[in-house]
Structure 1
Amino acid sequence: MRSMMIGAAALLGLGLTAPALAAEGGVPHLEWSFSGAFGTYDRAALQRGFQVYKEVCSACHSMKYLSYRDLRDIGFSEAEVKAIAAQYEVATIDENGDPATRKAEPSDRFHSPFPNDEAARAANGGALPPDLSLMAKARHAGPDYIVALLSGYHEPPPGFVVAEGKSYNAVFAGNNIGMPKPISDDQVTYADGTKATLAQEAHDVATFLMWAAEPKLEERKRIGVKVMGFLGLLSIFTYLSYRRVRRKVQGH
């Protein structure tokens, strides 16, 4: 009985401590609305983060695992999703079998900035900009790392040699990063009127990338809480049944 209750407490505690354990290696841990067993995504931050991705990051980085219709999950209406998708062209084949284009639809994947990896490398000095669909889960400290990286562009310390075509970044491994500083204060004008500081933009786009990498996080947590509640009740009933059986045995 005691081991069951300890196990349930440990599983609940895991949701509370995982973000803190993730923030290691000099990357500061930040507060996130989705942290903890009961955390949820901030829809306003998600929409602002999508705006940062769309206006800044999408010039180089794809998100090939997302479809436009997925944006309904972060609070965009059906009409807004259709309008967003219609801003892009999709290659297709017409009735004569000839190459053609059409406006993207909600069911289409996010538009990629380059037709293939070779074109992406050619446009970026030989470096391949990574797809951002799973970036928040691909890095050890997840969204904390993304914020630290975007905020880590500084003047190099004395004696440090910045490689040709690179920028100094205090967080990136080796400190020579091929991506120029992507965001700064007022890089975008937020649709909801939020002040677009570098810190705000970095936090918002990291939130969006976390959602992109784990869109079912809220559902998973809701199921987890229900399971923990069920196990808790089961533990209580099991214990009461045990006490009742024990009293009967002792009565004999």
Structure 2
Amino acid sequence: MGKFAQLIVDCLVSCRFFQLLYVVGLTTAGGVGLFYALEKTVSASGFLAVPIPHLPWFHSGLFHGYDSASLRRGYQVYKQVCCACHSMKQLRYRHFIDVFLTADEAKDEAAEIRVQDGPNDQGQMFMRPGTVNDYLPSPYPNEVVGRNANHGLYPPDLSLITLARHRGEDYIFMLLTGYTEAPAGIHLESDQHYNPYFPSGGAIGMAPALFDEMIEYSDGTPASVSQMAKDVCSFLKFCSEPELNDRKRYAIKVSFLRIVFSELLLYSRAFVSICLSVQFWSSI
């Protein structure tokens, strides 16, 4: 009779586990639905001037990671265009090693900058060549200088920009490529430009940053505005989420283990049910 009672307990535990899975599934579905509804509410509320389309990024697929060639070109765009105004205070040169730069290339890139260090033995600060452990340089020594150079506006740091902006790289791509003439009735100040994808009426202080063939890619890719915007957005996405490839690998492994574990649970539940039936009828 003790074995029969233990079988009943095991069966109840298994049933409770499946009930828990059911509750978790309903909660997850409800959370996803709420997130989707809130996103649509934000888009429809006028916070975004023009709807942002969903763009087919290579790294957005479950079985795809970052395109290293695009990241390399995007870094070139940032280095030759964006870094004149925008900083990346949370990125070090070593973060690029074995992603889109070799160790020697990263050392050469870092050696191009000068970093204040010290004090030395005489108690004085000194300038030295950069190393791979140094952060990417900021274009301004402080925020006051940055605002004075940009009509009172301080260009945002780009380290986490795709996480800090609604729709991430989709929004940044459309912003970089969406400059146009202001329609009738839109008043712009002398230092403003019109971009329909920019919130608050489309008046933006940043001038168009990209022009066809303004840089020459080292791999020979034609440097059109859309190509440069795509590459720099991929680079900014990597800077915001450098662990994305690892997360996808872990997700695939966990999904496989969930399938195996679920099959084992179903088999064990069927086995327990059969054992209970045999034990019950044999005891009558």
Please say whether Structure 1 and Structure 2 have the same fold, judged by a TM-score greater than 0.5: yes
**Aligned-residue offset at 1:162:** 1.2
Counting only pairs closer than 5 Å after superposition, residues 90-109 of structure 1 correspond to structure 2 as 90-93=115-118, 94-109=120-135
Amino acid across the alignment from 2:273: R
**Aligned-residue offset at 1:123:** 1.1
C-alpha root-mean-square deviation of aligned residues, in Å?
2.4
Amino acid across the alignment from 1:187: M
- Counterparts of 2:203 and 2:233 in 1: how far apart (Å)? 21
Quick check: which has more Rg, 1 or 2?
2
* Matching of residue 185 in structure 1 with residue 209 in structure 2: no
What TM-score comes out, normalization by structure 2 length? 0.81
**Correspondence for 1:244:** 271
* Matching of residue 220 in structure 1 with residue 247 in structure 2: yes
**Aligned-residue offset at 1:242:** 0.6
Aligned to 2:135, what secondary structure does the other structure show? coil
**Aligned-residue offset at 1:38:** 2.3
Counting only pairs closer than 5 Å after superposition, residues 127-206 of structure 1 correspond to structure 2 as 127-173=153-199, 174-206=201-233
CA contact (8 A) 1:4 1:235 kept: no
* Matching of residue 208 in structure 1 with residue 264 in structure 2: no
Aligned to 2:117, what secondary structure does the other structure show? strand
- Counterparts of 1:113 and 1:76 in 2: how far apart (Å)? 23
**Correspondence for 2:14:** none
Question: Structure 1 residues 115, 37: closer, same or farther in 2, change over 3 A?
Answer: same
CA contact (8 A) 1:29 1:144 kept: yes
Amino acid across the alignment from 1:123: A
CA contact (8 A) 1:186 1:197 kept: yes
Amino acid across the alignment from 1:232: I
Aligned to 2:59, what secondary structure does the other structure show? coil
Q: Decide which structure has greater helix share.
A: 2
- Counterparts of 2:21 and 2:220 in 1: how far apart (Å)? 49
**Correspondence for 1:40:** 65
**Correspondence for 1:69:** 94
Per-residue deviation, residues 72-99 of structure 1 (Å, max 9, x unmatched): 1422111100110111100112331112
- Counterparts of 1:36 and 1:226 in 2: how far apart (Å)? 16
Aligned to 1:218, what secondary structure does the other structure show? helix
Amino acid across the alignment from 2:134: D
Which of residues 213, 229, 238 is equivalent to 2:256? 229
Percent identity (aligned) = 40
Q: Detail structure 1 runs of 4+ shifted over 3 Å in the superposition.
A: 1-7, 21-25
Per-residue deviation, residues 139-198 of structure 1 (Å, max 9, x unmatched): 110000000000111011122111221111111112111111111111211111111110
User: Please, which runs of 5 or more residues in structure 1 have no aligned partner?
Assistant: none
Aligned residues: 245
